[in-house]
Chain A
Amino acid sequence: MSLLSVDALSVTFAGHGTGRGAGRAGRATKAVDGVSFDVAEGQVVGLVGESGCGKSVTALALMGLLPRKGVSVGGRAEFDGADLLSMGEKKIRDLRGSQLAMIFQDPLSSLNPVVPIGVQVTEILTRHRGLKGEAARKEAASLLDRVGIPDPDRRLKEYPHQLSGGMRQRALIAMAVACAPRLLIADEPTTALDVTIQAQILELLKELVDQEGTALLMITHDLGVVAGLCDQVNVLYAGRAVETAGRRELFAHPTHPYAHGLLGSIPRLDAPRGEPLRPIRGSINDKIAWADGCAFAPRCDFYTLQCLTGTPELTEPRAPGHQVRCVNPVLPADRSADAAEVSS
């Protein structure tokens, strides 16, 4: 049985609210529209998609961190048998930080600028493990050491602005793994870092989840991260999973036109000189409601009238376990010629 089982998760922001993330005034915005996926113990699962596809909102919904006013959350998300979405505020507060932990995108803004790193690490130890004073400080130092921060005793006394970007993200990771959570959600943890640091952080995450058998939900728009880390990948589009497959299978045979286009748009070093880039045309705003058909149809190179006859179902047109939400999937028989096959 999987550790986390998300079933038809939907998140709608009320239209007339003026709060953050409320979307355009006067219209309700469906940020997540029926996302389903599973994460097993010790597995690394990727949620991939471009900005605005609902991947961060999915993570916040699972953590119970969405504002309660003006947001309605539907569906189920069973974590170890209990539904995260319907559980009480107090109960999920107990889970957060201890069983479920999250790493955020921008390490500078995600750390409190006026509180020393040490306090920000020990407060979670005090909350969930009852450690106080010297014991908490020692544990915090060993956590910093574990995530590769040199001279941890000195760093504990320092403030976020005194640390480098990579160091800040390591500190955030230290907080996230402080109580050995069973599920770690990483929301684009490397986006704000430069490339060499990105690799180090990914390496660190891989190590940590391997050692503890932690399940990792990796949210990213970076296919390189997916290739390096994930066992299973869910490609999201407009708030819904459009393709789900193992990493190798997905990179070898992207079957949904969107996933196919994503992989095809990666520039290749071995391409001949002057070869034009192949972006997916349009933007995520050019979409239709899933209820009316395939949301990707307006941008799709392969769309037919069939695409506009209601929500496409998930099928397995290519291999068992490789699910695709498309009525005209990219299969080797018909369009293999322009399939940009990227091996992992």
Chain B
Amino acid sequence: MLRLVARRLLQLIPTLLGLSVLLFLWLNRLPGGPASAILGERATEAEVARINRALGLDEPVWVQYGRFIKRIFQLDLGTSTQTGQPVWEEFTLRFPATVELSVAAIAIAIVVGVPLGYFAARRRGSWLDVTAVSGSLLGICIPVFFLALLLKGLFAVNLGIFPSFGRLSTGIDATKVTGFAVLDGLLTGEFDASWDAVMHLVLPAVALASIPLAVIVRMTRASVLEVLGEDYVRTAESKGLDKRVVRARHVLRNALLPVITAVGLLTGSLLSGAVLTESVFSFGGIGQFIRTSIDARDYPVLVGFILFIALVYVLINLLVDVAYSLIDPRVRVH
């Protein structure tokens, strides 16, 4: 197990290095640049050159890249050209909101999706199955931002059950510990703040959960259907085991293997996919910041963000591999 983890961590280095090179070259080929974004279209050449010199953009590409790599190893992602603040600080300020949202979304997708897919398979052809299958198709088809707007219009604006924007209501004075609003409330004993944060999470999390939920339902259903036809399930039945034992030990355990892989991939994509949902609910996460950074051609922020997302992907995949090898002895390294 430790060897598996170590090997995966080593694999991380070439992946991230390769990605950083690609990113850097790609960004340097883009027309425009931070100078024109900061100064506007009517800037003089002298002003542009001054800004470029200040940001170190007049040096050769490989020098800039070398400096960039050196800084990464010092956990220094540079300074945002928009705000003038260190990228690292901008991230720590905003990432907790995005992580909180993504975790809530994937949790909803798993908790609802796995049982739904399981029972749809068990009662294949029933109204539950038909509803789950067609509902998940709808979930995949509806654009997330549109669903977010729908949910917001119905449950926040018209019915007023949930708040329509932000992470906390104005007037709630929460102490900040980790930056995760729900967790902070629990840690400091400010349970009303936690509750308020949960209420703010519901609509964006449900909107964001729609695609992973749909994928998990379909995946679980297909997987359970396949496993139900396996010989070893018949063997378990031939032993006269209780239905519960057959289902938990022999059906679910095998059926969840492909679902775990899917959950890993989905979680990674959620972090980058939260952008639109955050915008609709003014959630203040990393997504909105990245959007404005693209407009402003804020290279340090973009490069840092993409590297970070890649890192998260690789780490989640590592987790998936570990979980997989815990459940499936066949993939264990001997």
Residues in A lying within 8 Å of B, measured CB to CB: 20, 63, 65, 93-98, 101-102, 104, 106, 109-116, 119, 123-124, 127-128, 159, 161-162, 172, 175
Known: A109-B231, A123-B245. A93 touches B329 (CB 8 A): no
Residues in B lying within 8 Å of A, measured CB to CB: 229-232, 234-242, 245, 249-250, 253-254, 257, 327-330
Q: Which residues of B contact A159 (CB under 8 A)?
A: 329-330
Known: A104-B234, A115-B253. A98 touches B240 (CB 8 A): yes
The reply to whether A123 and B239 form a contact with Cβ atoms under 8 Å apart is yes
Q: Which of B230, B237, B241, B327 contacts A65 (CB 8 A)?
A: B237
The reply to whether B231 and A115 form a contact with Cβ atoms under 8 Å apart is no
The reply to whether A112 and B236 form a contact with Cβ atoms under 8 Å apart is yes
CA gap between A113 and B331 in the complex, in Å: 11
Q: Which residues of B contact A104 (CB under 8 A)?
A: 231, 234-235, 238
Q: Which residues of B contact A109 (CB under 8 A)?
A: 230-232
CA gap between A101 and B235 in the complex, in Å: 10
The reply to whether B240 and A175 form a contact with Cβ atoms under 8 Å apart is no
The reply to whether B235 and A127 form a contact with Cβ atoms under 8 Å apart is no
Q: Which residues of B contact A111 (CB under 8 A)?
A: 232, 235
Known: A112-B250, A123-B245. A97 touches B329 (CB 8 A): no
Q: Which residues of A contact B253 (CB under 8 A)?
A: 112, 114-115
Known: A112-B249, A115-B253. A172 touches B229 (CB 8 A): no
Beyond the given A97-B240, A127-B241, could you list 19 further A-B residue pairs with CB under 8 A, ordered by the A residue number? A93-B240, A95-B240, A96-B240, A104-B231, A104-B234, A104-B238, A112-B236, A114-B329, A114-B330, A115-B249, A116-B329, A123-B245, A124-B239, A124-B240, A124-B241, A127-B245, A128-B240, A161-B330, A175-B239
CA gap between A9 and B231 in the complex, in Å: 24
Known: A113-B254, A127-B241, A159-B329. A172 touches B235 (CB 8 A): yes
Task: Determine how close the nearest CB of chain A comes to the CB of B172; give it in whole angstroms.
Answer: 47
Task: Determine how close the nearest CB of chain A comes to the CB of B127; give it in whole angstroms.
Answer: 16
The reply to whether A97 and B238 form a contact with Cβ atoms under 8 Å apart is yes
A-B contact pairs, 17 of them (CB 8 A): A93-B242, A96-B238, A101-B239, A102-B238, A104-B231, A104-B235, A109-B230, A110-B231, A111-B232, A112-B249, A112-B253, A114-B253, A114-B254, A115-B250, A115-B253, A127-B239, A159-B329
Known: A111-B232, A127-B242. A96 touches B237 (CB 8 A): yes
CA gap between A9 and B329 in the complex, in Å: 42
Task: Determine how close the nearest CB of chain A comes to the CB of B53; give it in whole angstroms.
Answer: 61
Q: Which of A65, A93, A119, A123 contacts B234 (CB 8 A)?
A: A65
Q: Which residues of A contact B234 (CB under 8 A)?
A: 65, 104, 110
CA gap between A124 and B254 in the complex, in Å: 19
CA gap between A44 and B272 in the complex, in Å: 66
Q: Which residues of A contact B241 (CB under 8 A)?
A: 97, 123-124, 127
Residue among A110, A116, A175 with most chain B CB within 10 A = A110
Residue among B240, B249, B257, B327 with most chain A CB within 10 A = B240
The reply to whether B327 and A114 form a contact with Cβ atoms under 8 Å apart is yes
CA gap between A116 and B254 in the complex, in Å: 13
The reply to whether B240 and A94 form a contact with Cβ atoms under 8 Å apart is yes
Residue among B232, B253, B330 with most chain A CB within 10 A = B232
Residue among B235, B236, B237 with most chain A CB within 10 A = B235
CA gap between A159 and B325 in the complex, in Å: 13
